Structures are given as C-alpha cells and as structure tokens.
Structure 1
Amino acid sequence: MKKWLLVLAAVLLIFVAGCAQDNGGNTGNNAAQNQNAETNNEAENGANEQSEQPAQVEEVTLNIGASEIPHSEILNFVAPILAEQGVNLNIVVFNDYVQPNVQLYEGELDANFVQHQPYLDEFNAERGYDLVSAGGIHIEPFGVYSNRVQSLDELEEGAKIAIPNDPTNRGRALLLLAQNGLIELSEEAGTSATPADITNNPHNFEFVELEAAMLPRMLDEFDAAAINTNYALQADLNPLEDALVIEDAESPYVNIVAVRPDNQDSEAIKKLVAVLQSQEVEEFILENYNGAVVPAFQ
C-alpha cells in the first residue's frame, strides 16, 4: 500500500511540474506577443505620423515675359500664391511685342503674357512659329486718344491719326474707327485691315503707322492716335476717362499666356494659368483697373 502511495505521489509531482512548465511557456509567449504588438504599433504610428506630414513640393522657376502694365502687375500679384505651390516666377518686363515671342520660341522664356490671340496668330504665320495659348486672362479695350480734341466730331478735314504698325493692332484700330463712322472698310478686310482697305474716307484723314509702344509718346504730334490699353496706362492715360472711343467688353482680343507646345501641359504652366484665372485675380483686376482691364474668364 505504501508503494502505491509513493507511486501516486510521484505521478502528481510530475503532473504539477508539467503544468508549471506550460504556464511559464505561455507566459513567455504572451510577453513576446505583447512586445511584438507594441513594436508593430510603434512602427504603424510612426508611419502614420510620416504620412500626416505635408509632402515636399518640388520647386520650379518659370521665366515669363510681360508688358509692364497691367501684365507684370498681375503677375507680381499672383507670384506669392504660386510660390506656395512650388512655382517661382522670374518676371521679365518688355516694352515691345516681338522679343517676348522670339525669346519664348528660342527657349529663353517659358511663357509670356503680353498679347492677344489674333496678334499671336499673325506672328506665328509671319515667323513660322508654333507658339500656342495656355489660357485667356483679360481684355484691354482698345481706344482712340487725343490731346487736341474732345470728341471725334471735332477732328478737322485732313487730320492726322496715328495707328499701330503691326498687322493685328493696325486692323483693330481701323475697325474701331470704322465702327464709329470715321471711315468705311471693304467687307473682306477683317482684322487684318490696312489703310488700303479703306473704301470711304469722307474727311480725308491721314493715317500714320508707328510702333505701338511709341504712340503715347507721340500723341502730341497727331490729332488723334489709336493706342493699346497697356501702353495707355503706362502713359497715365485713363481709358475710361481719356479715350474718345473705346472697345466694349465683347472685344475678341483676349490677352493670353503664350507658351511652346513642348511645355503647354507642364504642371507649372497649368498652375500659372489656374491662378491667373482665379477669383482672386478677377477681384484684383476689377478693383485696380476700373474697367480699363476686364477679366476674360468671368
């Protein structure tokens, strides 16, 4: 009987020891699992923290040509907005319409903001260029100015009227004069009208063609002059107050951002045009130019 008791006691001791080992193993496994879970959570939290940080915006610089007023003023207004989007503007101011297109075509500029679509079309045809519009921004109503008379009716017989010498703006000036009854043009003339297309000139006006940028400076030399609004503004002429006649807001001569075909779809150009066509720019134009410059994207 004692032997059986001893055997039973031994079996119980072995069983208890086995249970203790199992519990110890489970405890170790649980600790390891808990440690792994904590490590995984830390890694996951770290990844979340990294994902919550704003992605670094790659900065680019756009070299853009512009007329002084209003183009460069509008670009200077949007420059801080674009900088926040990683696009820095290097604004190069020009006093003519030729070099901005030449330098754009040759790659010295990434874009320009100086002209309307009809002028670009004419320039491309003349030079064999393929520059394109990335978007329309505003209209600058074209006007006729004078330091000698207060209205077109006061122009005397044989008065000298200065007009731009580039094909598009020359035609634009003659069309404006025709619309106000000073002359008549042939039906085929269109936007490329020249003095040779005048079919009726009842007051024998003399038309003198000059570079557009010179017209405000030469205004005293003529009885009247048809002047682009950007050059009028530079000469402190107020189109709404000083112009004898002016185009209305329905003018088709929308000023555009011109680019090359190889960069017209770049992200930087898209951001530039998007900001230029934003509500902020619309408000800036309306508040600063009092109708002398009209947004074309309203």
Structure 2
Amino acid sequence: MRTVLKTTVAAAATAALTLGLAACGTDSDPAAGGPADSDAPLTVAASPTPHADILGFVRDNLAKKAGLKLEVREFTDYVLPNTATENGEVDANYFQHKPYLDDFNAKQGTHIVPVVDVHLEPLGLYSSTLKKASELTAGSTVAVPNDTTNEGRALKLLDDHGLIELKEGAGDDATLSDIADRKGLKFKELEAAALPRSLEDVDAAVINGNYAIEADLEPAKDALALEKAEGNPYANFLAVKKGNEDDPRVKKLAELLTSKEVAEFIEKKYHGSVVPAAGPDAS
C-alpha cells in the first residue's frame, strides 16, 4: 500500500465559490424567472475526480459536435455543488448519489433532482500499513465519512466483510450507534474529503472512490475491501434544480454522458475503479 498520499484540496477556490453563492440566478436559469437560453453555456458543478475529468472529456471531444457549450466548475466538497445549483450559480451538478441527495434535500430544503445515472464509484477500505482487512483487530482505529448516507454505506461495507456487526434492520442511514458488535474496533468520523489524509493517523479508512483516486489510490487494486458494483444503489448522476430537467442543454449533456464514447473513456481511464452506470435515474 502507498505510504505517501497526494490530495488536492483547492481551499482558495472553494472560498471564492462560497462568496459567489450569494449571487442570484442568471437569465438562463428558469428558476430565476428567465427562460433557458439554449445557446448559452451550460455550467456544471463537479467534484474534480472523476466527475470533472469525465465532463472534460465530453467538453473536449463531444460537446462541440452536439452544439453544446459546456463549462465545468470544480468543487472540493459535497455541499456547495447543490447549494450553487439551487441558487442558480450553476445550471447543474455531477458529483452525488441518490441516498445523499435525498438526505441533503430533506435537511437543506433544496429542490435538486437527478437527470441520468452516469457511473459508480465503489467505496473502499484502505490502509497505509495493513495488507488485509483481516489484520484489523481489537483496538484498531477506522476512519469513516461523517455525512449521513456515506457513513451508513461505510458501515455496511464493514459489516459485509465481517469486520463489525450491525443491528438487525439497520438501513442505509446507519450510524455508529447502530453497530451491535464493534469487535473491538474504534471509529473516527471525518469529512469525506479528509479521509485520504487520515491514513497516516489511523489503521484504516473507508474512502469514497473519487477521493481515493485523487489521492493516487487505485480502488480496484489498493482497497482491502471494496463494494460490489452489481446492484449498487449509489450511482452518481447529473442533477439539476427541479423544473430545469427539460432544458435542451441538460438533455444534450445527459445524452453525451450516457454515450458509448463516455463509457469507453471511463473503462479505459479508470480500469474498474469507476464503472459506467448509464441509465434512467432512480427517482
């Protein structure tokens, strides 16, 4: 396993974007009271990897021929992309799965809806010192994401691999209190983006696929335990504010993101660490 990790966190850019969230929607934003301009650029908020990479491929190779002007704006957290989409700062976003979006909308009062599934990022357990998941023993510390849906997802991964035992009936929103048997493990709850850096301080960490890739980890090779792609409910999708689903620019992008060309790009670039999941949304 790698002992030196590289994580890119654009703090200054995030701060600038945060200030921009106070801005009102543009004239091309139907939610701001103006009709969508099909000739205006479509601005999409995205996590740097793999979302912005995939969008960059579309922009550079497919968008012009489809008559779409595409702008990609990178965010390094899981809150600002939805807030920016709700406020009209951006037209769409691409970074999240349905359980996370449902929880976010319920808690924040936002109105974001999925448009089309694009890919899956299997969640994985990583360590800078251990070779196998079975080497986790009583007293070992495991870091997990601190947001509701990803923590539940992380605990399910640990339960599926026999590292803990969840209480009967624990669902996708399981928390540490839903663990029936910790088997001696200790847990540290951290923001998802900080998990790769935590590997120097804990015995293992459950890390989202995009953050693992950014940290030069290869989920398909480096994970001690990895989610199965088949039947996985955590597909990442293109999303917009409710009412903007029929924007012709959004429809064009949805078609491109689910094209054969994009599927081949994902398969070639990520070697199973990111899996194409094109299809209708799960709403």
The TM-score bracket by the shorter chain reads 0.7 to 0.9
- Answer yes or no: is the 8 Å Cα contact 2:116–2:278 preserved in 1: no
- 1:78 equivalenced with 2:58 (yes/no): yes
Query: 2:15 is matched with which residue?
Result: none
Structure 1: where are the runs of 5+ without partners?
1-56
Letter in 2 for 1:252: P
Mapped to 2, the partners of 1:263 and 1:187 lie a distance apart of: 40
> SS of the residue aligned with 1:113?
strand
Mapped to 1, the partners of 2:109 and 2:168 lie a distance apart of: 28
Letter in 2 for 1:253: Y
- Answer yes or no: is the 8 Å Cα contact 1:63–1:109 preserved in 2: yes
Question: Are residues 177 and 167 of structure 1, via their aligned partners in 2, closer, same or farther at CA, if it must alter by over 3 Å?
Answer: same
From 248, 253, 256, the equivalent of 2:228 is: 248
> SS of the residue aligned with 1:129?
coil
From 59, 62, 84, the equivalent of 1:103 is: 84
From 198, 216, 219, the equivalent of 2:199 is: 219
Please tell me whether Structure 1 or Structure 2 has the larger radius of gyration of its CA atoms.
1
C-alpha deviation, 1:129, in angstroms: 1.4
Mapped to 1, the partners of 2:66 and 2:128 lie a distance apart of: 46
C-alpha deviation, 1:258, in angstroms: 1.1
- Answer yes or no: is the 8 Å Cα contact 2:115–2:238 preserved in 1: yes
Mapped to 1, the partners of 2:276 and 2:66 lie a distance apart of: 23
> SS of the residue aligned with 2:149?
helix
Letter in 2 for 1:274: E
> SS of the residue aligned with 2:129?
coil
- Answer yes or no: is the 8 Å Cα contact 1:183–1:200 preserved in 2: yes
Map 1:227-242; keep pairs closer than 5 Å.
227-242=207-222
C-alpha deviation, 1:169, in angstroms: 0.4
- Answer yes or no: is the 8 Å Cα contact 1:58–1:86 preserved in 2: no
Identity %: 49
Letter in 1 for 2:252: K
C-alpha deviation, 1:261, in angstroms: 1.2
Letter in 2 for 1:210: L
- Answer yes or no: is the 8 Å Cα contact 2:196–2:215 preserved in 1: yes
Aligned length: 241
C-alpha deviation, 1:85, in angstroms: 2.4
Map 1:112-151; keep pairs closer than 5 Å.
112-151=93-132
Query: 2:7 is matched with which residue?
Result: none
- Answer yes or no: is the 8 Å Cα contact 2:164–2:179 preserved in 1: yes
Mapped to 2, the partners of 1:58 and 1:141 lie a distance apart of: 35
Query: 1:27 is matched with which residue?
Result: none
Letter in 2 for 1:125: A
> SS of the residue aligned with 1:149?
coil
Mapped to 2, the partners of 1:64 and 1:231 lie a distance apart of: 19
> SS of the residue aligned with 2:115?
strand
Query: 1:183 is matched with which residue?
Result: 164
- Answer yes or no: is the 8 Å Cα contact 2:145–2:151 preserved in 1: yes
Query: 1:9 is matched with which residue?
Result: none
C-alpha deviation, 1:194, in angstroms: 0.3
Q: Quick check: which one's helix share is greater?
A: 1
- Answer yes or no: is the 8 Å Cα contact 2:148–2:173 preserved in 1: yes
Letter in 1 for 2:172: T
- Answer yes or no: is the 8 Å Cα contact 1:112–1:258 preserved in 2: yes
Query: 1:273 is matched with which residue?
Result: 254
C-alpha deviation, 1:127, in angstroms: 0.7
Mapped to 1, the partners of 2:199 and 2:164 lie a distance apart of: 21
Letter in 1 for 2:162: G
Mapped to 1, the partners of 2:38 and 2:170 lie a distance apart of: 50
Which segments of structure 1 move beyond 2 Å, counting only runs of 4 or more? 57-60, 83-86
Letter in 1 for 2:189: E
Cα RMSD for the two superposed structures? 1.3
C-alpha deviation, 1:128, in angstroms: 1.4
C-alpha deviation, 1:233, in angstroms: 0.3
- Answer yes or no: is the 8 Å Cα contact 2:59–2:70 preserved in 1: yes
Give per-residue Cα distances to partners, 1:42-91, cap 9 Å, x unaligned: xxxxxxxxxxxxxxx96221111011111001001001312222221111
Letter in 1 for 2:135: E
- The TM-score, its normalising length taken from structure 2, stands at 0.83
